[in-house]
Chains A and B, each alone.
Chain A
Amino acid sequence: MAQGAQKIVFRPLNLARCIIWSGFALLLLVLPLFFNKGFALTLMCQIGTIMIFSLSFNMLLGQSGMLSLGHAVYSGLGAYFAIHMLNLIGKGWLFPVSLLPLVGGLAGALFGVLFGYVTTKKSGTPFAMITLGIGELVFAMSLMFPEFFGGEGGVSSNRIAGEPLFGFITFGPQIQVYYLVAVWLFICTAAMYAFTHTPLGRIANAVRDNPERVEFIGYETQRVRYLVLIISGFFAGIAGGLGAINFEIVSSENVSAIRSGTVLLFTFIGGVPFFFGPMIGAVIFGFFIVVLATITKAWLLYLGLFFVMMVMYCPGGIATLIMMQFPIVKAGRFREIFPSYCLAVAAGLTLLAALVFAVEMIYHLSLEAAAGTTKAFFGYDVEVASATPWLGVALLSGIGAVLFVAARRGISTHWDRIMGDIIRSQTA
């Protein structure tokens, strides 16, 4: 599935790498200064846990070519074990709350060992279908055994338990939970990145590209997939554990097929072929679900459209979109193509505006007809029933279409010329 530019190698290797990682650490440290509102912090913690979860998911899809349609099973079960452990800590067990995600991780790995043995017997579509089946079974079971799964209300707990860390950190206030998530996010991201540079990690890529050939260089492909699944289950369990601390409740929703579908969708939007793709996906998840969901009831429609457009026009996700520009920037020719990009963005925005107007007005007509036919649009009321706004929409989409055609032609000509020069310079 991954295609595109030549293998990107940073020169010199370690300087670029440590800049990136220290920058990442700095960002995590400084973020709460900008977003310190109660809910914003919770959301950032949620995005952090989803980053770990998506990275563990992409360890299967992006690194080893295994599409799992039931990955929430590992993070959900990890979360259940973690929250039960939290309750035990509350009853006096000596275990630091800060290491709770580890309990989730071990539980995730344990179920990786259990289910993995069955699922990794097959690969490709059969593997996807088995994980779908197991996902449905675990979800149905989660409602049937209230002792462990806590029934519909789920299992709740109090994260202020046991000895405070270093004497003063009780994880009561949200800011402390944020830094716990940040630390675990950094550790897990580093660990998963390092994994891609180990023999097993690289052979997993080989299994992704050509499972048959791997059999002939001494590796048993099922064993490779099995080990990768266990490790991925471990990190998914850690994400589950962190989620349990952040929300102090774990319910059957954590193991639902909806969760598995979410991580698949946003990892794909973020970009499967690149390691950091899922992290972009998690941030976009935050934007779509948070900001958009409160502005409009039709956020699901926008998300659907956005996703379908991504699948059709940019299957490599946003990460690939960014990394494709890399050779051009390296060749110093970005200035040439930049105006066409601006044109494309302008076209996109006008089309989007036309779409938003149309959808909001239709939504207003169908759902809120009772509350009169005027709709507030960023401050001024629009008379939905009359024709003028609809004419405006048609006009906007017309302009947008024209801009789009122009931008498309501009980009393709520039792109071919620059890439042509680059390829020629290489093979000379």
Chain B
Amino acid sequence: MNAPAPMPVIAAALELRAVRKSFGVTEIIRGVDLAITKGERHAVIGPNGAGKSTLFNLISGRFGVSTGAILLNGGDLAGLKPFEINRKGLARSFQITNIFANLSVFENIRCAVLYPLGYKYSFWKALSTLKDANLRADEILELIGLKKRRDVKAGLLTYAEQRALEIGITIAGGAEVILLDEPTAGMSRSESDQAVELIRKVTVGKTLVMVEHDMSVVFSLADRISVLVYGEVIATDVPEKIRGNAAVQEAYLGTSLAEGAH
């Protein structure tokens, strides 16, 4: 099902050119070049402290790059604030669940759809009359399987339900490029399988960039994998090639890949 997709010739949805980032003296990202084509599902793996989350924060505008450039559909994101980048069609989720605890599940999703649907800062329209927003939110609820928890306060959901809501909020805005930061972290085997199906379902036709530790999730979802070690991408290739790549094995997996890291 995930046969290695040939490299399409159209412009990259997301491109990083010689990106470097240092906090004070220590350099975290030491020159990353990455090109992710439209519709591709790309996974970024690497040992703890390799700089994966920092990379996500650079792309989503939480931190500014020290040097180099990040392009979204060809447009440079330099100096843009997170909400400006989001409006250009890039949405991200968080490793630590980051939802609106005192609002209901339905309202969490609806908040994410309001800006893209053009309601922006309006204080003259009543939420109950916004047919498209309510419909869209119910669709997403159906998609992430939280229909029966519609009016429960988000803070009262179970951990897995909150992770699903996290993904729901990320995709609700209809962004073309989706960044997922360890979506299945802390989940049981059955819950993470459910999450993988969910991610597959919601990212149809979209560009996905995912940070993940669970190798089974990575190999069942990713079209291509980049391996980040100490702030540098040591390999970017289709899953089989990565599995066999000596440098990756030695630098990251330690044991030979054959036994698999279940």
Interface residues of A (CB under 8 A from B): 2, 6-7, 9, 194-195, 197-203, 205-206, 208-210, 212-220, 223-224, 227, 231
Which residue of B has the minimal Cβ distance to A65? B102
Interface centre among A197, A203, A216 (most CB of B within 10 A): A216
A208, B101: Cα distance in complex, Å? 10
Q: How close is A394's CB to chain B, nearest CB, in angstroms?
A: 45
Chain B, residue nearest A228 (CB): B123
User: In the bound complex, do residue B173 and residue A217 qualify as a contact, i.e. CB atoms below 8 Å apart?
Assistant: yes
Name B81's contact: one of A212, A213, A220 (CB within 8 Å): A220
Q: State which residues 112-148 of B face A: CB under 8 Å.
A: 112, 114-116, 119-128, 130
Would B82 and A215 count as touching, CB distance under 8 A?
A: yes
| A209 x B101 contact (CB < 8 A) | yes
Are A227 and B123 within 8 A (Cβ)? yes
With contact pairs A209-B100, A209-B101 given, residues A198 and B123 touching in the complex (Cβ less than 8 Å) = yes
Q: List 29 A-B contacts (CB under 8 A).
A: A7-B152, A194-B126, A197-B128, A198-B122, A198-B126, A199-B114, A200-B121, A200-B123, A201-B123, A202-B103, A202-B107, A203-B111, A205-B100, A206-B100, A208-B102, A209-B100, A210-B98, A210-B99, A210-B100, A213-B99, A216-B60, A216-B91, A216-B92, A217-B111, A217-B115, A217-B173, A218-B83, A220-B83, A231-B123
Residues of B78-117 whose CB lies within 8 A of A: 81-83, 86-87, 91-92, 94, 98-104, 107, 110-112, 114-116
Interface pair A217/B121, CB less than 8 Å apart: no
Residues of A within 8 A of B153 (CB): 6-7
The residue from A194, A203, A205, A216 contacting B114, defined by CB atoms under 8 A apart: A203
Interface hits, B50-101 → A, CB 8 Å: 60, 81-83, 86-87, 91-92, 94, 98-101
Smallest beta-carbon distance B86→chain A, Å: 5
A216 to B172, CA, bound (A): 12
B151 at the interface (CB under 8 A from A): yes
Given contacts A205-B103, A216-B82, 16 further A-B contacts (CB under 8 A): A6-B156, A7-B151, A198-B124, A202-B107, A205-B102, A206-B111, A209-B100, A209-B101, A209-B102, A209-B103, A213-B98, A213-B99, A216-B60, A216-B86, A217-B112, A219-B83
Shortest Cβ gap from B93 to chain A (Å): 9
Task: Please state if B169 and A227 are interface contacts (CB–CB under 8 Å).
Answer: no
Complexed CA–CA distance, A44 and B119 (Å): 39
B residues contacting A by CB (< 8 A) are: 60, 81-83, 86-87, 91-92, 94, 98-104, 107, 110-112, 114-116, 119-128, 130, 151-153, 156, 169, 172-173
Residue of B nearest to A8 (CB): B151
Establish whether residues A215 and B81, one from each chain, have CB atoms under 8 Å apart when the complex forms. yes
Q: Which residue of A lies closest to B170 (CB)?
A: A216
In the complex where A7-B104, A206-B100, A216-B91 touch, is A198 in contact with B127 (Cβ < 8 A)? yes
Q: A6-B156, A213-B169, A216-B83 are in contact. Are A202 and B101 (CB under 8 A)?
A: no
State in angstroms the CA–CA spacing of A2 and B123 once bound together: 24
Q: How many A-B residue pairs have CB under 8 A?
A: 101
CB closest residue in chain A, given B87: A218
CB distance from A201 to the nearest CB of B (A): 7
With both chains docked as a complex, state the minimum distance between the C-beta of A234 and any C-beta of chain B, in angstroms.
11
Chain A residue at minimal CB-CB distance from B108:
A206
B81, B114, B123 — which one has the most chain A CB atoms within 10 A of its CB?
A: B123
CB closest residue in chain B, given A196: B127
Query: Separation in Å of the A218 CB from the closest CB of chain B?
Result: 3
Q: Which residues of B sit under 8 angstroms from A224, Cβ to Cβ?
A: 121
- Residues in chain A near residue B123, CB distance under 8 A: 195, 198-201, 227, 231
Closest residue of chain B to A191 (Cβ to Cβ) is B123
Which of A7, A198, A217, A223: most chain B CB closer than 10 A?
A217
Bound-state Cα–Cα, A98 to B124, Å: 24
Which of chain B's residues have a CB closer than 8 A to the CB of A227?
121, 123
Residues of B within 8 A of A199 (CB): 114, 119-123, 125, 127, 130
Closest CB-CB distance, A122 to chain B, in whole Å? 16
Cβ B104 vs Cβ A210 within 8 A: no
Across-interface contacts of A9 in B (CB, < 8 A): 151
CA distance A199 to B110 in the complex (A): 9
Q: What CA separation (Å) do A231 and B92 show in the bound complex? A: 31
Q: Which residues of B contact A203 (CB under 8 A)?
A: 111, 114, 121
- The residue on B at minimum CB distance from A223 is B121
A215 touches B83 (CB 8 A): yes
CB-CB < 8 A to B152: which residues of A? Answer: 6-7
Rank and list the top 7 A-B pairs by shortest CB-CB distance, nearest first. Answer: A218-B115, A200-B123, A209-B100, A215-B82, A199-B119, A217-B112, A198-B123
Nearest-CB distance from A109 to chain B (Å)?
Answer: 13
Q: How far is the CB of B235 from chain A (nearest CB, A)?
A: 30
Q: Which residues of A contact B130 (CB under 8 A)?
A: 199
